[in-house]
Amino acid sequence: MAKFNAIDLFAGIGGQSVGLKKAGFIIKASVEIDKNAVKGYRQNHPNTKIFDYDIRQIDTQEIKKLLGNQPLHLLAGCPPCQGFSSVRRLNRKQSVRDDRNSLILEYLRFVKELKPLTIMMENVPGLINYYLFKKVVNELTELGYNPKFDILNVKDYGVPQNRKRLVLVGSLFGELDVSRVYVQKKKVKHAIGNLPKIDETTDEAHKIVANHIPRIQKMIELIPKNGGSRKDLPKEYELECHKKENVGFNDVYGRLKWENYSSTITGGCLNPSKGRFLHPEENRCITAREAALLQTFPKNYKIPTDISKTATGLLIGNALPPRFSYYQSKNIKNHLIQNLG
């Protein structure tokens, strides 16, 4: 069986790497600057060389040395483009100025200098209208990668979550499209329905859960089970910030529903004031383990437990769902087998 090498840029805690490995790729190196993410990545991918500093300072010659005479079969990456997330934009069309938006050009630099046989880039859907994305697509076309891109929903790939992502793929061999496969849909109950109570678990990540002042805890207890929301509350429990007209974020303090997909697991997933992140039945927010399972991380995936809840939520919410990564990576691997034997 042929072995295929991959590099994972902007690797985060390793969601994309999990999918790449499951699809059969050997991850020769990854790049991630966030120290908390690096800690989590190293715990789960100890054999991968990780460059834990600013990608703009990385000389790709170091990666070429790691590869030796072997080809780079796939360069994968999720450049952070927070200025284009719908949450940051509050659904406005224009992006928010953010220095990280230009990191997509670093992905392009790595393509130019490493000359991988195939490429895969994932991002928020809002990036599709950004001038730098269009510039990257044009340059990838000139480089011979014949790039294809589309906006996909991870729920169509067995992820129990409603989350749209922009995926771009390309190949020096010619036609390669993003993966569109029919897989069994998974819902919230499938992902987190069989976990032990948090006061009975030995899983430290399942003990990471928000604590609330008595008034907020009482409010949570009054929200109807299995899909209820703050709109179901008596008037006396309506928060001041929610009384204004046209206030957004209707899902805040909402419960997940067993037989439905979860809302998008964001960086605020461990705080019910940030979205529909309450447990379907228990009077609490979802735990770090539950958030990771809704992202399709393996049950035994190590989550750092010595950082703040806020930092933990960011690590999980910013990750690419591993199962979605797996199907996209497997599609590319099959393409490589067809062209390389």
> Residue 86: what pLDDT?
47
Angle, vertex CA 97, rays to CA 96 and CA 102, nearest 5: 115
- Fold agreement (4-183+320-340, 188-317): no
Say whether 78 is catalytic. no
Asked whether the predicted pLDDT for residue 294 surpasses 60, the reply is: yes
Asked whether the predicted pLDDT for residue 96 surpasses 50, the reply is: no
Asked whether the predicted pLDDT for residue 36 surpasses 50, the reply is: yes
Angle, vertex CA 73, rays to CA 335 and CA 125, nearest 5: 75
Position 92 confidence tier, pLDDT thresholds 50, 70, 90 = very low
Asked whether the predicted pLDDT for residue 95 surpasses 50, the reply is: no
> Residue 341: what pLDDT?
72
**CATH number of 188-317: 3.40.190.290, 3.40.50.510, 1.20.1250.20, 3.90.120.10?**
3.90.120.10
- Dist CA 325 CA 25 (whole Å): 12
pLDDT mean over 9-14? 98
Q: Which residues pair with 122 in a beta bridge?
A: 167
Q: Which of 78, 81, 269, 285 is catalytic?
A: 81
Q: What is the pTM of this model?
A: 0.91
Enumerate the domain spans of the chain. 4-183+320-340, 188-317
Phi, psi for 204 (deg, rounded to 5):
-60, -35
Would you put residue 277 in left (φ > 0), alpha (ψ -120 to 50) or beta? Answer: alpha
Residue count of the chain:
341
Percent of the chain whose predicted confidence (pLDDT) is above 70: 89
Between 242 and 178, the more confident residue is: 178
> Residue 230: what pLDDT?
83
- The residue assigned the tokens 């990838």 is 140
Topology of domain 4-183+320-340 in CATH is: Rossmann fold (3.40.50)
Contact (CB, 8 A) for 320 and 19: yes
Contact residues for 115 (Cβ-Cβ < 8 A; gap 6+): 72
- Dist CA 120 CA 74 (whole Å): 7
Position 82 confidence tier, pLDDT thresholds 50, 70, 90 = low
**Which pair of structure tokens corresponds to residue 162?**
């409603």
Q: Which of 32-41, 99-108, 199-208 has the lowest mean pLDDT?
A: 99-108
> Residue 331: what pLDDT?
97
> Residue 78: what pLDDT?
94
Asked whether the predicted pLDDT for residue 116 surpasses 80, the reply is: yes
What mean pLDDT value characterizes the chain?
Answer: 91
Query: Residue 126: how many CA atoms within 13 Å on its side-chain side?
Result: 18
For 43-53, write each residue's pLDDT tens digit. Answer: 999 999 999 99
Tally Cβ neighbours within 10 Å of residue 260: 16
